[in-house]
Amino acid sequence: MPTVSMTVNGKRVSAEVEGRTLLVELLREHLGLTGTHVGCDTTQCGCCTVHLNGTGVKSCTVLAASCEGATITTIEGLATEGKLHPMQEAFREHHALQCGFCTPGMIMSAVDIVRRKGNDLDERTIREQLEGNICRCTGYHNIVIAIQSGAAAMKQSRPSGAPPG
Amino acid sequence: MSININTPSPAISGGGLGRGRIGQPVLRKEDLRLITGAGCFSDDVNLPGQAYAIMVRAPHAHARIVSIDTAQALAAPGIIAVLTGRDMLADGMKPIPHRPFSPHPADMPLENTDGTPIFTAPHYPLAPDKVRHVGEAVAMVIAESVAAAKDGAELVEVDYELLPVIANTAAAASPTAPRLFDQARSNVCLDGVMGDAEATAAAFARAAHVVRFETKIPRVTGVPMEPRAAVGAYDPAIGHYTLHAGTSGAWRTKADLVIMLGVGDDDVRVITNDVGGHFGTRGMLYGEFALVIWGARRIGRPVKWTCERNEAFATDYQGRDLVVEAELALDADGNFLAMRGSNISNAGGHTTNFSPLRKGVEIMSSIYRIPAAHFRARGVVSNTAPTRPYRSSGRPEVLYVMERLIDLAAREHGFDRIELRRRNLPTEAEMPYTNPFGMIYDSGAYHRVMEKALGLGDWAGFPARRAEARARGKCRGIGVANYVDTASGVPRERAEMTVHRDGTVDVIIGTVSTGQGHETSFAQLVTEWLGVPFDNVRILTGDTEFVKFGGGTHSGRGLRLASIVIWGASQQIIEKGKRIAALLLECESGAVEFRDGAFVRPGRGRTVSLTEVARAAHELPDVPDDLRGPLAAISDETITTAQFPYGCQVVEVEIDPELGSLEIVRYSAVDDVGRAVNPAIIHGQVHGGIAQGVGQALMEHCYYDPETGQLLSGSFMDYAMPRADNFPFFNTEYVETPSPTHPLGMRPAGEGGTAPALGVMINSIVDALSEFGVRHVEMPATPERIWRAIREARGGAQSMCDRNTPEVMLR
Ligand code: FES
Ligand code: FES
């Protein structure tokens, strides 16, 4: 079985994987990072969203073997130095989660939306950009509010000159 | 029993005691782990040495199992075992203990008119002889890996003898329809009536107007975002089974497993950690839960099974699916006189549950004053996945029927929609109101709530908005729907409360949070009543090792029943504490008062805290024997009254008549929650409930091919789920009219978002299309259906927003 090496949440990791092993399987089963969830089998729900080299991807649709040398951030790696990421704070502050199953993917997608669309997000943009993430609990109301507020907070917390996200 | 929940009043001053009391939108305790990926959902559980199970599922909707050949599969690499229904029966497995109804004295009886018992038949985790819906499990393959198990499952050869299929609800009721159960006379398992036939006929005879409505409320499914998963283990040394699985109540799941395995009460432990949504789908044990622990015993290793989404679509308990014919009689002034009709509910491929049928029929008259009613209620089986109660079991369907009848009556007989509702809503003076089926609505300011919703939705300002939309070529419609919801469910609940020496308080309770935030709202109750800092309260659920009884989470019973037993336990703690405090304060216990989270001897200024008392219970030498040890209390209550949350929604939609596409432009909701514990959670529940109702009204549909019974909506590619861009921000408010039938005045808030959503959506759509002469649009009201309705109804009526519609569209 081929070995694949990558950096996950700042740590170098290597694992033996089969050709068919998905990135999400590597994360959940080999690395024990169970914060990334699997909600479907058709790349629709977004529960599995992580950042691959800084870009949001659905880890259920990425082969682990294709991630050689990649840098991955999962929900477990979003908080730094014991401090929650502003988007995590915003989700908690605005009650943007109920069961919490979609939440890791939602938060990772939200951070990616900010990367793509900037910190000043209007409601329409957020709703459209959430096309790839399904939540069954919240009716999205508080998620949209949280993303708007988290995006703004990311601007403030960002050291000047650093790229968003 | 009536309790003022705001006494005793704990201190607001100091120690963070002000935070987390009743009524505060305090941040949820559960969120930190859930936003950091540290939650523990069922598939996150792994046991050392576990093997993996895959189910072999029937590709046919109705077939006899002639034979199952497992030899090839068993020879495949990594396969540990292949188990069939025959193995299961040989080991003595009993069927899933479905109950036709959840027992609650406030619900109306529904029995067969001919006096025979309701037909039920065994439903086994693995079909032993016959499959009755696509996806029914016939064998379980256990292997070293999921991949090996899947490969092995491909090699299991099942020989089926195909049988005629019946997937349609109304057709299944026909005496000539293919029968699912050989031992039954037909597919009709339950055929009863509710109401007063004579009085209803008399009222119809003198009616000035009668309006008639026939509809099918389509089958949908709950789609919790966390697919089911289960890990089972067996300890042969002590003959003990352990199941890790997402349930709606660990204790009830355990009790059912004990029955299925025929073992002792203490031989099974069920552990439920975080649960990724429920909505009714997890209301009953799933066969796979029994299979993994049985499989673990068979192979001597833990067995894990994780459901894939396509399996979930085919085999999760589904919801709704009701065919209704209804008539409403009115006098010349618009007073409702009577209602009659017939409901047929589809239980699917097994006799799982007829609760939605009963819970619907008993409030067919909805929130309105209707003196007489009579309905026939039939429950049928068909070659579709089994159904069970789904968020607001049985009610959204019938509330929708009533709201459509009112709008149709208004339109066909020249009444104003709002006036008709005002005229027929019971007033506060009429409370408690007994509906024509015998349900007693406890209380409610129905008029006030409807007017509030109409204000919130700016009903009065609608004509101007319609005109403005029209100028843009859009058809704008507005709709209103009231609801009353009957919260009953398992009537018993139990709380065990312990005040520890360090001042922390543990509450063990038999509900399970599947997103409702029990760790937070239940802790708020303790903070309120014992004056304990919010952070010091721990709510422990979901493990039968310590949960000794629990009714689980359904029927809006979580907070509603938890509050009663947590109150009861708190009061016992205070009473016990007073006796211990009396020793410390050197006075009679009768002289001790509990105030601000501490025991005081009035006039003497001395106080001892709850923590000191808890410590003294262990350490003070002269503590009486019955108080020595942990300061703890158990409250176990059976509440035989139901509660009746109610409310009103107002919705505005804009439709593009050329495309049939729809946008919800305003959504307003007012709910009466009795007493609000955590406003943020309440609003969240309403938002989510609305989205589920709107999903059913506009897009969701479990579609079975009527000829073959094949499920054509088996993935997120085919089953339309509501997404963020389907909604505006919701405008939700609540009022607090204490429920007189709940000792703390509470009414549940979890189902009110969904209950009126079907009716209000279709009413607003039909209103938008009224200028074309569209009388009705069936659910799901997809753009195609709306577009066709416009085309069909138009026949000459030219609307102001009717521009040239191309001949071929959208197909
Ligand atoms: S699990 Fe990846 S999109 Fe659903
Ligand atoms: S919070 Fe439950 S699915 Fe989004």
In chain B, pLDDT over 70 holds for what percent of residues?
Answer: 96
Round the average pLDDT of chain B to a whole number and report it: 94
Ligand located closest to B30 CA: 2
pLDDT average, residue stretch B697-718: 97
Q: Does residue A164 fall inside a structural domain?
A: no
B695: enclosing H helix or E strand: helix B679-698
CB contact residues (below 8 A), chain B span 123-162, against chain A: 147
* Ligand 1 proximity of A50 Cβ (cutoff 6 Å): no
Pairing of strands B731-735, B661-672: parallel
CATH of the domain at A24: 3.10.20.30
Give pLDDT tens digits for A140-155.
999 999 999 999 999 9
The verdict on A128 and A67 lying in the same domain is no
Q: What are the pocket residues of ligand 2 if the criterion is a CB atom closer than 6 Å to any ligand atom?
A: A 97-103, 135-138; B 225, 276-277, 515
Question: What pLDDT is stored for residue B641 in this prediction?
Answer: 87
pLDDT average, residue stretch B198-225: 98
Two tokens at B527? 């903070």
The verdict on A93 and A59 lying in the same domain is no
* CB–CB contact B725 A127 (8 Å): yes
CA distance A31 to A10: 13
- Cβ atoms of B532 and B24 within 8 Å: the answer is no
Instruction: pLDDT band for B811, please (50, 70, 90 cuts).
Output: very low
pLDDT average, residue stretch B602-624: 92
> B720 vs A98, B3, B223, B724, B741, CA distance in Å?
21, 46, 11, 13, 40
* CB–CB contact A130 B43 (8 Å): no
The verdict on A14 and A69 lying in the same domain is yes
User: B199: CA distance to ligand 1 center in Å?
Assistant: 56
- Assess if CATH 3.30.365.10 describes domain B10-39+492-638: yes
- Picking from A23, A46, A77, the residue at the C-terminal end of a domain is A77
Question: What pLDDT is stored for residue B374 in this prediction?
Answer: 98
The verdict on A72 and A106 lying in the same domain is no
Question: What pLDDT is stored for residue B796 in this prediction?
Answer: 52
* Ligand 1 proximity of A28 Cβ (cutoff 6 Å): no
* Ligand 1 proximity of A102 Cβ (cutoff 6 Å): no
- Picking from A34, A52, A77, the residue at the C-terminal end of a domain is A77
- Assess if CATH 3.40.50.300 describes domain B318-488+642-810: no
- Report the DSSP beta bridge partners of residue A15: A4
* CB–CB contact B692 A136 (8 Å): yes
* CB–CB contact A45 B37 (8 Å): no
* Ligand 1 proximity of A37 Cβ (cutoff 6 Å): no
In the block, tokens 């009721």 appear at B173
* Ligand 1 proximity of A48 Cβ (cutoff 6 Å): yes
Query: Which residue, among B36, B308, B516, B713, would best test binding to A if mutated, counting the most A CBs under 10 Å from its CB?
Result: B36
B407, amino acid identity: D
CA distance A126 to A114: 9
Domains of chain A: total: 2
Two tokens at B602? 């009035």
CA distance A106 to A50: 10
* CB–CB contact A130 B723 (8 Å): yes
- Cβ atoms of B348 and B133 within 8 Å: the answer is yes
> In this complex, which of A18, A20, A100 lies closest to B39 when CB atoms are compared?
A100
> In this complex, which of A36, A47, A142 lies closest to B684 when CB atoms are compared?
A142
Q: Which atom of ligand 1 is nearest to the CA of A132?
A: 3
The verdict on A63 and A104 lying in the same domain is no
> In this complex, which of B688, B717, B724 lies closest to A144 when CB atoms are compared?
B724
The verdict on A119 and A147 lying in the same domain is yes
At residue B71, does pLDDT exceed 60? yes
The verdict on A36 and A98 lying in the same domain is no
User: A155: CA distance to ligand 1 center in Å?
Assistant: 29
Question: What pLDDT is stored for residue B34 in this prediction?
Answer: 98
Query: Which residue, among B24, B29, B35, B718, would best test binding to A if mutated, counting the most A CBs under 10 Å from its CB?
Result: B35
* CB–CB contact A42 B687 (8 Å): no
At residue B809, does pLDDT exceed 80? no
- Cβ atoms of B313 and B714 within 8 Å: the answer is yes
At residue B499, does pLDDT exceed 50? yes
Q: Which atom of ligand 2 is nearest to the CA of A143?
A: 4
CA distance B479 to B481: 7
Question: What pLDDT is stored for residue B805 in this prediction?
Answer: 41
| B42-163+228-306 and B318-488+642-810 have identical folds | no
Instruction: pLDDT band for B598, please (50, 70, 90 cuts).
Output: very high
* CB–CB contact B688 A139 (8 Å): yes
The verdict on A35 and A99 lying in the same domain is no
Instruction: pLDDT band for B2, please (50, 70, 90 cuts).
Output: very low
Two tokens at B643? 């509660």
Q: Which atom of ligand 2 is nearest to the CA of A97?
A: 1
Q: Does residue A9 fall inside a structural domain?
A: yes
Question: What pLDDT is stored for residue B230 in this prediction?
Answer: 98
User: A60: CA distance to ligand 1 center in Å?
Assistant: 5
Q: Does residue A21 fall inside a structural domain?
A: yes
Q: Which residue puts its alpha carbon closest to atom 3 of ligand 2?
A: A135
CA distance B454 to A9: 51
Ligand located closest to A38 CA: 1
B420: enclosing H helix or E strand: helix B417-424
Question: What pLDDT is stored for residue A158 in this prediction?
Answer: 62
The verdict on A25 and A62 lying in the same domain is yes
Q: Does residue A165 fall inside a structural domain?
A: no
B279: chain A residues, CB-CB within 8 Å: 136
User: B299: CA distance to ligand 1 center in Å?
Assistant: 32
What angle separates helix B250-261 from helix B287-299, to the nearest 10 degrees? 60
Question: What pLDDT is stored for residue B804 in this prediction?
Answer: 42
The verdict on A104 and A51 lying in the same domain is no
At residue A121, does pLDDT exceed 90? yes
Q: Does residue A162 fall inside a structural domain?
A: no
Q: Nearest CA to CA, how far is A5 from chain B (Å)? A: 23
* Ligand 1 proximity of A43 Cβ (cutoff 6 Å): yes
CB contact residues (below 8 A), chain B span 224-283, against chain A: 224-227, 274-279
pLDDT average, residue stretch A17-40: 96
Comparison of pLDDT for B233 and B639, the residue scoring more: B233
pLDDT average, residue stretch B123-129: 98
> In this complex, which of A76, A101, A133 lies closest to B41 when CB atoms are compared?
A101
B27: chain A residues, CB-CB within 8 Å: 92-93, 95
The verdict on A66 and A36 lying in the same domain is yes
In the block, tokens 């003198």 appear at B206
Residue extents of the structural domains in chain B: 10-39+492-638, 42-163+228-306, 318-488+642-810
At residue B797, does pLDDT exceed 60? no
Residue A104 touches chain B, beta carbons under 8 Å: yes
Question: What pLDDT is stored for residue B102 in this prediction?
Answer: 77
In chain B, pLDDT over 90 holds for what percent of residues?
Answer: 88
Question: What pLDDT is stored for residue B16 in this prediction?
Answer: 45
What would the DSSP string read from start to end of B149-198? HHHHHHT-EEEEEE------HHHHTSTTSPPS-TTSSSSEEEEEEEE-HH
Q: Does residue A72 fall inside a structural domain?
A: yes
The DSSP symbol for B265 reads G
pLDDT average, residue stretch B282-294: 97
Q: Does residue A163 fall inside a structural domain?
A: no
* CB–CB contact A37 B276 (8 Å): yes
User: A99: CA distance to ligand 2 center in Å?
Assistant: 5
pLDDT average, residue stretch A88-108: 98
Please tell me the least confidently modeled range out of A151-160, B152-161, B298-307, B327-336. Answer: A151-160
Full domain range(s) for residue A36:
3-77
Q: Does residue A117 fall inside a structural domain?
A: yes
- Picking from A48, A77, A106, the residue at the C-terminal end of a domain is A77
With the most atoms of ligand 1 within 8 angstroms of its CB, the residue from A22, A28, A43 to mutate is A43
* CB–CB contact A40 B691 (8 Å): no
Give pLDDT tens digits for B434-490.
999 999 999 999 999 999 999 999 999 999 999 999 999 999 999 999 999 988 888
* CB–CB contact A100 B276 (8 Å): yes
CB contact residues (below 8 A), chain A span 51-90, against chain B: 74-76, 78-79, 84, 88
> In this complex, which of B225, B516, B692 lies closest to A134 when CB atoms are compared?
B225
User: A106: CA distance to ligand 2 center in Å?
Assistant: 9
Question: What pLDDT is stored for residue A26 in this prediction?
Answer: 97
The verdict on A63 and A15 lying in the same domain is yes
CB contact residues (below 8 A), chain B span 526-555, against chain A: none
Task: Give the domain B42-163+228-306 fold.
Answer: Aldehyde Oxidoreductase; domain 3 (3.90.1170)
Nearest of B770, B229, B273 to residue B541 by alpha carbon:
B273
CATH of the domain at A133: 1.10.150.120
